[in-house]
Amino acid sequence: MPVPADATGAVFIRRQDTQVHFDDRGQLLYNGYRIKILHPNALQLGNLTIVWNPAAGAPMVHSIKIHRDGEVIDVLESSSFEILRREDQLEAARLDGNLTAVLRVPDLRVGDELEFAATIRSSDPTLGKSDAGMLALQAEPAPGRYHLRLSWKDGDKPTVKMSPDMVPFARQDASAIDYRFDNPSALTPPKDAPPRYQWQRVVEYSSFGDWQSISRRFAPLFAGASRLPADSPLKREAARISAASAQPLERAGAALKLVQQNIRYIYVGLNGGNLTPASADETWQRRYGDCKAKTVLLLALLKELGINAEAVLVNNGGNDDGMDERLPSPRMFDHVLVRARIGGKVYWLDGTLPSVVSPGSAPVIPYEWVLPLAEKGASLEHLNWSPARRPDEVTLFEIDARAGFDKPARITNTTIKRGVEGLQQEVQFSVATPAQLLTAFRQQAIGDTWQTIEDVQWHYDQKAQASVLTVIGTGTVDWDDDGDGVRSMALPGGGFNPPEKRIRAAEQNQDLPFYSKPIFDCRVTTVRLPATTKPTQWSHKPAIDTRIFGRSYYRAFDIRDGAMRMVRGLRTEEREIAAVTALRDNTRIPRFDNSMAWITYTPGSTNTIDPKSKPVPATYEIDWTADNVPCLPADLLTNEQAD
C-alpha cells in the first residue's frame, strides 16, 4: 500500500500478512510484513524474536530486508540469528522447552521500511493433524493494509466460525478463506458487556467436530498415565491412607494432601509434554510435576482407594464466558484438576493448590464451563453461579477510645480473606516467623493510622477456608472538632462509592446486558466510646439497605454496652443485568446514599435509642469467619439458610 504523504504515528503498515495453513501434520503459521518506520520509538521493531517448540519442527525465515531510498538491503547477508534455550517463566516454575532465535537488525533508521517473513509449524505433537485456533485483527490497528488467510490441503478443511464483523470481508474458494482490510477502523468493545461480547474481528477454526471429540482425545492419555504397575510404590501409599481412615472423604483428603505436599509444582512442556501428562510413577519418583502430572497422580491414588474420579479441563484465566459459543478447541483450556463423587456428592480436588485446600463442593476458582475427560467423550458442562454465601473478604476494625477523645486509641485490625487472595496470603505468610511478620508490618504500616504495632498474628483457618491476619497496636483517632464540644468521626470502611452510570456510546448495541463482577465484601467497625460520654449523646448516619445494578448495598448501626457498632456489606446478586434494568437504575443514582459512616458526639443531646432496633454484633462478639455472618440484610440471609 502506498505510504500517504501525511502519514503520522509510529508506523505505517504497507502490508501485513498472517496466514494459517492446515496440512496432514497440523498447522503452519506464516507471518510477513513490510512496515514504514515513522518515529524513533518504532525502531524497536528491529529487535526480531522467533519462538518455537522444537518438537513441532524448525521455523523457516524467508526474508529480512531494509528498503531505503530505492535500495534493498538483505539483512541476512551480513547478520544471523542467535539461537537461545531461554525459559521465560522459569521463576514461575515453568519449563516449556521452547527455543528462541534473536536478531538485532543493524543500522535501522527512521524512514526505513522493514520487511520480514517467516513460517513456524505451531502444531502440538499430542494433537497431530487435529488442531484449532483463531485469526484476529486487533481492535486498534495502525493505519495500513492487512491480510488474514486460512488455507488447507484437500481433505483437511477445518470448521470455520467468524464473528459477524468479519463476514463482509470473507472471500472463499475451494482451499482458502481470505480477509483483506485497508486502514481498518478502530473497534471499541461494548462498554461493560459480559466478556463473551468482547470477541470482535475474530475467525475461529477447528478440525475437532465437537467438544466430545476433545474429551475422547485426552481421556486415554490421563487414563494410561494414571495406570499403576503391580509393583508401584503408590500402591503402598494408597494402602497406608486406607489403613489410617475408613471414611472415603477423609481418604480423598489425605490423597490430595499427599500430592499437594510431596510434589512440587513445575510446568513441564518438554518433548511434547505441553498436553501429554507424565505417568503417575514417574511423577512420584522425581517429586515434581505440573497440573497434568499432579492430576494423574491423584487419579491413580483415588482409583486405588476405590473412589470414582475424573480429570476435568478448565480455564484458570477467567476466559470461559461464552465458551459454549466457541468452536471446540483444546487451546481454550489452561488447567486440569480432579472431580470426584463421594457419598453421592461432588468434590473438586486441585493438586496444584497449597495443602490447606481440602476437597470442596465447588472449585476455588469460579469456573463457568468445564470439560470432563471421558473414554466415550463428554460435553461441555456449565457450572451454575449463585451469589457468594460467605464474604470474599471481611475487614474488622476495633477502636478502643475509652481513654478519651484526645488520647491514642488501642486498635485491632483483622482481615479475613478467602479464595485465591487468601491462598496467596497463605503462601506469603506461612513461610514467615512471627518476628518477621511483626518487623515487616512495623516497617510498612507505622506512620499513618498506626503509632505503634504491638503484635501481628496470622493463621489459615482450614474450616473457614480463610486467611486470618490480625494487627494490634495504637493509633491516633481522627476525631473532627465541630465546635461547642461536638466531635465526629467517619468510621473506616463504612461508606460506599456511588455506582457509575451504565451507558454506552450511540453506535454500540444498546440491548446487550451489563456485567457486574462478582464480589462479596464485608466491613465491620466497633468503636468503644470515651468513658465520659453517654449513649444518648451519640448519633450516626442513616442505615442503608438498597439494591442497584444487581448489587446489594447494606449498612447498619447499633449502640450498646458503650460501643458504637457498624456493619457494611456489598454483594453481587446478579452477574448480568438487562439493559432496561440498567436504564432504570441510572435514574436512581442521584438518590444513592454515598455518605461516609459518620458518628457524632453532641454533649447536650438526648437521642432516643430504639430498643426494637436490630442488634449489630461487635467485632469481638461473634466468630466472623463463620458462615452466614450478618453482613447483609436479614431477609437475604434467611432466604439462603432456607435454600
Number of other CB atoms surrounding residue 273 within 10 Å: 21
Identify which has the larger pLDDT, 122 or 425.
425
pLDDT tens for each residue of 281-316: 999 999 999 999 999 999 999 999 999 999 999 999
Mean pLDDT of the chain: 92
Q: How far apart are CA 14 and CA 1, in angstroms?
A: 5
Q: How far apart are CA 232 and CA 536, in angstroms?
A: 74
| pLDDT higher than 70, residue 270 | no
Predicted pLDDT of residue 346? 97
At 362, the pLDDT band (50, 70, 90 cuts) reads very high
% of the chain beyond a pLDDT of 90: 84
| pLDDT higher than 80, residue 3 | yes
pLDDT tens for each residue of 523-571: 999 999 999 999 999 999 999 999 999 999 999 999 999 999 999 999 9
Predicted pLDDT of residue 643? 41
pLDDT tens for each residue of 587-607: 999 999 999 999 999 998 888
Grid cell of 281 as nine digits = 510413577
At 642, the pLDDT band (50, 70, 90 cuts) reads very low
Residues 379, 366 contacting (CB under 8 angstroms): no
Identify which has the larger pLDDT, 135 or 609.
135
pLDDT tens for each residue of 14-53: 999 999 999 888 889 999 999 999 999 999 999 999 988 8
- DSSP letter string, 196-243: GGG--SEEEEES-SSHHHHHHHHHHHHHHHTPPPTT-HHHHHHHHHHH
Exposure string of 405-421, with b = 16+ CB inside 10 Å and e = fewer, is: beebbbbbbbbbbbbee
Average confidence (pLDDT) over 486-499: 94
| pLDDT higher than 80, residue 329 | yes
Q: How far apart are CA 256 and CA 242, in angstroms?
A: 13
The burial of 505, by beta-carbon neighbours within 10 Å (0-12 exposed, 13-18 middle, 19 or more buried), is given as exposed
Secondary structure of residue 38 in the 3-state scheme = coil
Domains of the chain: 11-206 (2.60.40.3140), 212-382 (3.10.620.30), 478-642 (2.60.120)
| pLDDT higher than 80, residue 241 | yes
Predicted pLDDT of residue 95? 62
Predicted pLDDT of residue 640? 55
Q: How far apart are CA 487 and CA 38, in angstroms?
A: 63
Predicted pLDDT of residue 266? 86
- Asked whether the CA dihedral 334, 340, 345, 348 is positive or negative, the reply is negative
CA 122 to chain centre: 26
**AA identity, residue 390:** R
At 127, the pLDDT band (50, 70, 90 cuts) reads confident
Q: How far apart are CA 177 and CA 304, in angstroms?
A: 51
The burial of 81, by beta-carbon neighbours within 10 Å (0-12 exposed, 13-18 middle, 19 or more buried), is given as middle
**AA identity, residue 203:** V
Predicted pLDDT of residue 427? 94
Backbone φ and ψ for 476, nearest 5 degrees, come out as -85, 130
Q: How far is CA 486 from CA 247, 383, 479, 543, 603, in A?
A: 63, 54, 10, 22, 7
Average confidence (pLDDT) over 145-172: 94
At 129, the pLDDT band (50, 70, 90 cuts) reads confident
At 58, the pLDDT band (50, 70, 90 cuts) reads confident
Predicted pLDDT of residue 606? 86
Number of other CB atoms surrounding residue 119 within 10 Å: 17
Predicted pLDDT of residue 41? 96
% of the chain beyond a pLDDT of 70: 95
Q: How far is CA 306 from CA 220, 246, 275, 374, in A?
A: 19, 11, 27, 18
Secondary structure of residue 71 in the 3-state scheme = strand
